[in-house]
Structure 1
Amino acid sequence: MPEWIAVLLIAAGAGVSVPVGAALASAERIRPDWLEAELRHSIIAFGGGALLSAVALVLVPNGMEGLPLSASAGWFVLGGLCFFGLDWWLARKATSASQLAAMLADFLPEAMALGAVFASGSNTAVLLAVLIALQNVPEAFNAYREIEAKTHATSSRILVAFSAIGLLGPAAALAGFFLLVDAQAIVASIMLFASGGILYLVFQDIAPQARLERHWAPPLGAVAGFLMGMIGHGIIGGA
């Protein structure tokens, strides 16, 4: 099998998690109401844990290997500042797609890095794909709920849109595979840029939304999300 087909299939597996998360959010409301609230917050927290595991176990370690410390710190800070700028702009616009924009802002750079890492022969490519899939489900879940609450779009139209968004991942991965295979410094910069942005996103948006008074499933969901990353790192990353 040609390598580009392999990376396309791996990236498609990660991308399909976008419509899966949206489909879960489109399901009929769960009764009683407290169970729906706890489940929704737990899914969001799980995504936060998965995002943190991607930063801690893959993106930052691999990114810092390819750049000196000063450049690593610079790209990391720039990522956080750019995500802040995007968040501020979306808040001023009061758009219904802020969660969707946040998902794309970390999904696409990670997918490009995935393609480039796969081309380099590193076994962390599969781990990164798994972590992208884990984080896409709750992010898409949250984005669907936001769009549904703030627009009059039908469920079927939103699901079609999210399915199309899932195809952007394989496209970005192929771009990384063909264009960035010999550009290790650029790949490292993308990883660290995404890491700074993801960390901003987790503490600005995901963690506050996950909290519920006198409920303990959401923080345990965050632990479970990070645990999935740890297990993947141990099995695939060779830890």
Structure 2
Amino acid sequence: MLLLKIILLTLLAGMSMPLGAMLARAEKIHPRWLEQELRHSIIAFGGGALLSAVALVLVPDGVQHLPTEVALYWFLLGGLVFMLLDVLLNRFKTSASQLVAMLSDFIPESIALGAAFALGGSNGLLLALLIALQNLPEGFNAFRELRHSSHYPANRIILMFTMMALLGPLAGVVSYVWLADYPAVVSSTMLFAAGGILYSVFQDIAPQARLKRHWGPPMGAVFGFAFGILGHMMLAA
């Protein structure tokens, strides 16, 4: 029963990517300043949701079963690995780079989700919600970038995002089945993902969210984090 729950939650979280792409495809907003502000606010909202996942789930759960120096090692290693991947993607700029960048977020998130259920408690559900909230603006933004940087038709991009979403259940189930009996490994996995996600927020999401002489996007990040706090408090209650 728990495996089925993990499959469904990781699938729903992943399906936010093609849903975001469909919203971007249908987007027809005027005037242009409002379109720009909405787009940047959506990106910032995803960043806020990711920060709340790191602050409220991944780090608090990850440090429970590890000594301080080991916890810091895995957290910093996650950031370093994501940085190296970012360098490689920047060097080999192709239309596939955007897809790889999305997977580099989603796969560790799905692994961390399976790990959260392996630790027990209700944080797995909260993490699934936050991943879904983050994947929606990421799919939205990635669709727009792929449409401008490649010759892929819209339907093909949405199909690719849908196929990527199917990797989430696989990663989540493998993580849960293999790691359930090893809490220290689960904690290491969650901290590794947290370090990588934090790198991505400040390298990719936050710079894209900024818009000169507009103040809506930063509030989008605040609302994204607020959703994380709301979910955390509701589940705790």
Q: TM-score of the superposition, structure 2-length normalised?
A: 0.95
Matches of 2:5 and 2:78, distance apart in 1: 29
Structure 1 segment 1-40 matched on structure 2, within 5 A: 2-40=1-39
2:147 maps to amino acid: E
Matches of 2:196 and 2:132, distance apart in 1: 18
The equivalent of 2:178 in structure 1 is 179
Tell whether 2:181 aligns with 1:188.
no
SS in 2 for 1:52: helix
Higher helix share: 2
User: Does the 8 Å contact 1:117/1:181 carry over to 2?
Assistant: no
Shift of 1:153: 0.4
Structure 1 segment 1-239 matched on structure 2, within 5 A: 2-236=1-235, 238=236
Matches of 1:199 and 1:112, distance apart in 2: 16
Shift of 1:177: 2.0
Unaligned runs of 5+ in 1: none
Shift of 1:226: 0.4
Change in Cα spacing, 1:37 to 1:97, as seen in structure 2 (3 Å) is farther
Q: Cα deviations across residues 179-233 of structure 1 (Å, max 9, x unaligned)?
A: 1111212211111111111111111111111111111110010000000001011
SS in 2 for 1:30: coil
Matches of 1:115 and 1:28, distance apart in 2: 34
- Quote the RMSD (CA, aligned, Å): 1.4
SS in 1 for 2:95: coil
SS in 1 for 2:101: helix
Shift of 1:101: 2.5
Matches of 1:42 and 1:172, distance apart in 2: 30
2:153 maps to amino acid: T
Shift of 1:157: 0.4
Q: Cα deviations across residues 54-93 of structure 1 (Å, max 9, x unaligned)?
A: 1100011111112111011111111111111111111111
Shift of 1:165: 0.8
Matches of 1:103 and 1:188, distance apart in 2: 23
Shift of 1:17: 1.0
Shift of 1:97: 3.8
Unaligned runs of 5+ in 2: none
User: Does the 8 Å contact 2:115/2:190 carry over to 1?
Assistant: no
User: Does the 8 Å contact 2:118/2:186 carry over to 1?
Assistant: no
Count how many residue pairs are aligned between Structure 1 and Structure 2: 237
Matches of 1:221 and 1:189, distance apart in 2: 30
Matches of 1:213 and 1:60, distance apart in 2: 33
Percent identity of paired positions between Structure 1 and Structure 2: 58
Matches of 1:12 and 1:224, distance apart in 2: 24
Matches of 2:204 and 2:66, distance apart in 1: 29
